[in-house]
Amino acid sequence: MNDALDVVGLFRFAFAGTLLTALACGLLGVHVVARRMVTAGLALPQVAAFGIALGLVALSHADGHSAHAVEAGLPHVVALVCEVIAVLIIAWPRARAAVGQAAIAGMLFAGAGAVTVLVMAHSALGMEEVHHLVEGNVLAVGRADVVVLASVLIPVIVALALGSRRLISCTFDPEMAATLGVRVRLWQTLFYACFVVTAAVAVHAAGTLFVFSFLVLPGAAGVVLGRSGAGAMIVSAIVAVGGATLGFVASASAWDTPTGPTCAAAVLVLFLGCFALAAVRQRLTPG
């Protein structure tokens, strides 16, 4: 227990950044899973990684130091632009009618992944940066990174919490919500905006594997175990924060493993626990 507290104290900024990222992804994840947008949840972090890679390469050409590039914030801006374009492609009615949303998201995932590797392979930054983008380097998150994460993710978390009733109504049945006077287009835009900015900043801090895992697994736990919209959000938030905490402490102290993948594994274990709990509850429910 003391070891765990020591680790959290030593890496407090990294721990805070991990929790913020996990919570934002977890709250978004309920909607991602319930709307059957898991492939988009896979594609957008990858597109964000591509944007970050592009931003890093552009600035490393300008001054030769990727650290300056990060401080300049350009990678986040490029990631954001790439993600907005990706969302517009995913939502483009003609493309959806032609091959379906899942296929478009799959193409974006494959395309962005391939081009990221190709871009970085021919840059001064090399494949090490690709490794960081996928696996993440959460322990390297410092005070300045936490400020960036908090300034983006706290408003996202507050918006998702305060707007949860309207958002759940739009997720459950957007057409019905529209007939009840809910401004569905506004709420859908808010949801996608939260999705895009979260992926843009979270991928750079935690890597695509962490972001995808936390966009899907806590949300799936909320969907299988929650018995109300708010219940699903609460379960998802608990699983996300719990998985991040367990993974962080285990990776930084006991196991000495990469933090992002360890957190992903921890949240998978928690999801399996929730799934088992839901199955037991189903068996015990009469009728």
Partner 1 sequence: MDSSVTPLVRVSSASVGWGHKTILSGVDLVLRDGDYLALVGPNGSGKSTLLRAILGLAAPLSGRVERSPRWRAGYVPQREGAAQLLGVRAAEVVAMAVPASWMPMSARARRREAAQTALSAVGMTAFAHHVYRDLSGGQRQRVMLARALASEPTVLILDEPTNGLDVGAQRDLLDLVRRLRAERGLACLLVTHSIRIARTEAETVALLHEGEMALGAPADILSEARLAQLYGARALGGVA
The stretch near partner 1 (CB under 8 A) out of 9-17, 103-111, 140-148, 165-173 is 165-173
Listed residue (50, 48, 112, 36) closest to 80, CA to CA: 48
The stretch near partner 1 (CB under 8 A) out of 1-9, 107-115, 200-208, 227-235 is 227-235
- Per CB under 8 A, does 229 bind partner 1? yes
- Per CB under 8 A, does 1 bind partner 1? no
- Per CB under 8 A, does 284 bind partner 1? no
Q: In sequence order, which residues have a C-beta less than 8 Å from that of residue 268 and are 6 or more positions away? A: 213, 217, 243
Torsion, Cα of 178, 182, 184, 186 (10° steps) = 150
The stretch near partner 1 (CB under 8 A) out of 62-70, 84-92, 110-118, 179-187 is 179-187
- Per CB under 8 A, does 175 bind partner 1? yes
CB of 104 to partner 1, least distance (A): 19
CB of 98 to partner 1, least distance (A): 14
- Per CB under 8 A, does 172 bind partner 1? yes
CB of 109 to partner 1, least distance (A): 22
The single-letter code of the amino acid at 215 is L
C-alpha to C-alpha distances, 117 to 5, 28, 57, 121, nearest whole angstrom: 38, 28, 12, 6
Listed residue (205, 155, 186, 240) closest to 48, CA to CA: 205
Nearer to partner 1, 2 or 285 (CB): 285
Check residue 138 and report its DSSP letter.
Answer: G
Rule CB under 8 A: choose which of 2, 9, 128, 181 binds partner 1: 181
In the region spanning residues 20 to 59, those forming contacts with partner 1, defined by CB under 8 A, are: 30, 33-36
Q: In sequence order, which residues have a C-beta less than 8 Å from that of residue 262 and are 6 or more positions away? A: 247, 248, 250, 251, 255
- Per CB under 8 A, does 286 bind partner 1? no
Using CA atoms, how far apart are residues 181 and 200, in angstroms rounded to an integer? Answer: 32
- φ, ψ at 256 (rounded to 5°): 55, 50
Rule CB under 8 A: choose which of 65, 183, 185, 227 binds partner 1: 227
The single-letter code of the amino acid at 236 is S
Rule CB under 8 A: choose which of 134, 211, 224, 244 binds partner 1: 224
- Per CB under 8 A, does 122 bind partner 1? no
Query: Which residues contact partner 1 by CB under 8 A?
Result: 30, 33-36, 165-166, 168-169, 171-181, 223-229, 231-232
